[in-house]
Structure 1
């Protein structure tokens, strides 16, 4: 373990001032980018990052906008340092890159601008800004190419070392070359300039800081900050039991075939070190779901940081506490010509989910209550996207990358529900665009934008709900639509008995009467629309025509629950029902709550309903008994005074006598794992999830089955685990 230099003469107050100054600088860089950009992807949704690095590529400070750019930004700087070697560089230079294979970008639209920082003649660091630019060329507008079979079809590829500004002036030949290959050159160049403005802000503020404190003290403080961050993270890792943990996730549909691609990880924890080994993941594919190594590292960090380093100032020290290994040529570390334009939002998001599973399992076995409380339901993640491109009625070409796709639900926590429309785990500052802003900038008109109540994973604490919205064209006759809904069938797992969340998808309602509704003075809603056809789109699909009077509907996945739903406070269920977060059927069938007056009537439930405490207790006992085929009187009772009775820390525990269910004390065996002692059921996933009140796409395959596995305590009927599993033809044989 790296330890703090005990004899450092650094004043701790000045150390913290410099540390916070660096954080403020990267935040101010982001503000400069927002104020100078004309793209709603940056200004409305915050899809960017800013950072400062030392001369070798170690992170001084990183902004809290999109965390998986931690990996892509770091790799971009490291590769730039390697490429330029001893070549001369000057103040005012700036380098551009976006190639995932050679510069670590998450995908081609995520474009890096990296500028050197000089104090006098000495190179003291790099300013780095990265943002999703609306179009980067390639076969489809917007930079996502479901139809691509190789990376050469996806975008213009800029490797590290391409100088876009030379001593403060644009390199005109490079500018013209790039703009000749993108569909919206004016917007692209303005965003490049906004990234330059961001870097210039960072350079100016950092040099002011060095002038104030001196270069020697600055270097010593940053070195010490690295050590302190590493020390804190390693100390928390030490509270997790040593061992080897394994988990897997599955990427759906590669753009060409509706197959499943494995993301496997083995986590080895020893002392204050964690190693993540992705050996066993699927080979790279010819579809656009391959995850670059930069995105892999960033996706791992996206889960590690909020779980183990939630309050640690982010710098290089956080990253040194874990190692990431992946086979070259795999879906999580591909090589050319693998296409890669959606790998970060599909396979990369599955990486964050599998790391969440591993750390939740490990944290749930800790004796430290703070670490124990970091376990959680899996986040929905896996961005559900829609990109519209066409010419409006004023003959202006436009590309709408709709950032409403960030409205997915978070996983539930041990003490509270998951956030609704939280974004991906990596989006610390997730923002959704204003309806009015999208309608002002693009020829679309929203019909609705609301919570998707078919999405949340139920539990003692409920997973966050996703978003549902619909729009029709207003000011254009037709657009070409690209969609991707990678969280459609293999949905987010719950934890400690929490149930999986619902999935994502798109449908097009053809030739609707939406315009008639507006003419009649009402906003059309789904239940009142008339249409000629209801077209469910593929998980990934491009070149879908959307015409005037068609309606595009998009629904987004929810997070996994935490704890058995029968442990949820009945009053919380009643409140959810009144507020229409759950339906009466879910309140009764999943949560076992009986309300008085009768809650079975259709329509909105009035606030006057109250929980029938005795009937609810009896119904919950009946449900538990049915789970394990026992008579209600033969069950062990739930200890209502125990925190697990309300879902808190309800994962199975281990003591000197073996495993037990914390809600009742029921014993679960003495082996290395408790699962073999549980009552196990396997049910086709789409069917079982529908019974649980959530929507997921049904997979049709001759080679594997998608199932929901539920594990129950045999003596008390408590649900201890619920997850989506894959049963292959070989396993069934």
Structure 2
């Protein structure tokens, strides 16, 4: 077998093209990865895939460059590239055949964001020639290791975290399952049937992509398709390079902090030195902390994906993602560091902790450089920092009604607040920056699939960072066990000590917290209509959880509560329209106390009221629910605050 050799068109004749055909080819590639995603969701039985969209699909050329990437989870960009390059390093294309599929999940050799993110790669043939690869990756519910669900705070090395599959493990040989490999894998998995079904859904997605790409090449011809696909990559690279040129040259540095590693609550620095030079940008993380024996080490694949996650909405917001977007960028990281660890460093939560902090860090640096640009469109890309750190809760136990063993990876932990934008408030319960198509299972879906009963799920008014534009709110939710006597529970809270920062005078968002309310009479609370009020549950004890904890036991009658962090504000809170503050108070997004303390807004009558009368201010809303602003007292309070 052989590979195609696509090189960038250099001469004017080579660059001459039909723009309509170029757009058709580009959109066809995007449509193919979207169809791959549909195939995966319709064939998977996991709510993490079908309800939450925690996956990616992608097409690569024969050299491992990205043709197209689906709009689901962006930090898989780096891990997908590393996994494919690792495959090409160990399996020559001459040894590949139509119908082959390869699986990997190892953070060190395959660049996986963490072991539960399993990748499947399928070579695509045109005749006897490998013309590309289809790649799918998704979070699977269990991958073995010491903890159900694959997150292992207690692990001191990667060998305890999961079954480690390096690049080159063949699971399909010419379209047939490699049965010996399948048996070896599922023998190490707590949920073998759901796991293998999800692997089959990844293969199905790749097969869909392979068929559609083959049909596209047949339609346009191999030479024309290769030329236009190359032009699409080059066009994206040129746009990003032009935007980098519009930024002032210079060196920009900042530091973020990782909160604990499962062994201690020590703050570990993540440092980036961003150098803008003409049409190139280098992001150097070499001064970051050394790798740790805790589970927060971020694989190099996750590092690249986390950088791309921050770059895309600022420099490539209107572009289809392909290899060209990354062309002007380079990412540097020291070996054996917290952002480029080596064996045996554990990494089962590196992407949601250190990786998410990398995205926050790069966003801050981009804020500092775009605000100095002469390009107004780039200046408008500055923003408050997103909470952008996943609050985890993984429960494992046996249902009392069916006797079935289950693992619940609760996707509600992703409902953090977004950073505010220059012209609008941050999104509430937005998800991470990386989650372009963020979805969360409905309460009813979680209750249908798992033995839990939700008591409440609502935005948390204590979490939005004050600003002229308010940071997005995190979500406050609680559940209790139903038809289950007990679960073992793992939790991690990456945004408790160091909240998301504001920008341009905006204030930080609120941090998160998690607690177990022990010994609640849930049945009585439901009967009395008090189950949704944490102040009226009357638990025997309230047990605040540590930032990271495993082996927690939650029993029937206990209530588990998590409050998710909010996003940072943008601009001085004293510049926020008082009517908007009053509307937030009316809607329950901001408390009356916070309206006065953070925004300098005095409400007429009731909590926070000043000395003005009813006719002294404006109102937000109509009828009994309206909240009036005491305009005179507000102006005086704001003058005093300034």
Residue 367 (structure 1) shift: 1.6
State the distance in 1 between where 2:270 and 2:181 align.
38
Q: Is contact 1:386-1:401 (8 Å) kept?
A: yes
State the distance in 1 between where 2:350 and 2:12 align.
41
Structure 1 residue ranges without an equivalent (≥5) = 625-733
Pair 1:354–1:392, CA change in 2 (3 A) = same
Aligned alpha-carbon RMSD (Å): 1.6
Residue 606 (structure 1) shift: 4.9
Residue 615 (structure 1) shift: 2.3
How many residue pairs match? The answer is: 623
1:319 is aligned to 2:326: yes
Residue 310 (structure 1) shift: 0.3
- Work out which structure has the larger RCO, using CA pairs closer than 8 Å and 6 or more positions apart in sequence: 2
Aligned to 2:365: 358
How far does the alpha carbon of each residue in 1:125-153 deviate from its partner, in whole angstroms, 9 at most, with x for none? 00000000000000000000000000000
Pair 1:538–1:114, CA change in 2 (3 A) = same
Aligned to 1:428: 436
State the distance in 2 between where 1:489 and 1:180 align.
40
Q: Is contact 1:243-1:268 (8 Å) kept?
A: yes
The aligned runs of 1:214-233 (5 Å cut-off) are 214-233=221-240
Q: Is contact 2:106-2:112 (8 Å) kept?
A: yes
Q: Is contact 2:518-2:557 (8 Å) kept?
A: yes
State the distance in 2 between where 1:209 and 1:97 align.
28
Aligned to 1:162: 169
How far does the alpha carbon of each residue in 1:366-400 deviate from its partner, in whole angstroms, 9 at most, with x for none? 12111110111111011001000011102110000
Aligned to 1:614: 632
1:533 corresponds, among 541, 546, 549, to 541
The aligned runs of 1:8-407 (5 Å cut-off) are 8-85=15-92, 87-393=94-400, 394-407=402-415
Residue 613 (structure 1) shift: 2.5
Aligned to 2:583: 575
Tell me the secondary structure at the aligned position of residue 294 of structure 1.
helix
Tell me the secondary structure at the aligned position of residue 214 of structure 2.
helix
State the distance in 1 between where 2:503 and 2:212 align.
44
Aligned to 1:476: 484
Residue 522 (structure 1) shift: 5.3
1:451 is aligned to 2:459: yes
TM-score between the two structures when normalised by the length of structure 1: 0.83
Pair 1:365–1:177, CA change in 2 (3 A) = same
Q: Is contact 1:143-1:154 (8 Å) kept?
A: yes
Q: Is contact 1:377-1:494 (8 Å) kept?
A: yes
State the distance in 2 between where 1:293 and 1:188 align.
26
State the distance in 2 between where 1:505 and 1:573 align.
25
Residue 616 (structure 1) shift: 1.6
1:492 is aligned to 2:493: no
Misfit runs of 4+, over 6 Å: 1-4
TM-score between the two structures when normalised by the length of structure 2: 0.95
Residue 499 (structure 1) shift: 0.2
Aligned to 2:596: 588
State the distance in 2 between where 1:319 and 1:6 align.
26
Residue 83 (structure 1) shift: 1.0
Residue 595 (structure 1) shift: 2.5
The aligned runs of 1:649-688 (5 Å cut-off) are none
Query: 515-524 or 119-128, which moves further after superposition?
Result: 515-524
Residue 511 (structure 1) shift: 0.4
Structure 2 residue ranges without an equivalent (≥5) = 1-7, 610-621
Q: Is contact 1:3-1:231 (8 Å) kept?
A: no
Tell me the secondary structure at the aligned position of residue 280 of structure 1.
coil
State the distance in 2 between where 1:2 and 1:535 align.
63
Q: Is contact 1:456-1:462 (8 Å) kept?
A: yes
State the distance in 2 between where 1:206 and 1:568 align.
51
Pair 1:598–1:240, CA change in 2 (3 A) = same
Residue 436 (structure 1) shift: 0.4
State the distance in 1 between where 2:634 and 2:117 align.
52
State the distance in 2 between where 1:480 and 1:178 align.
24
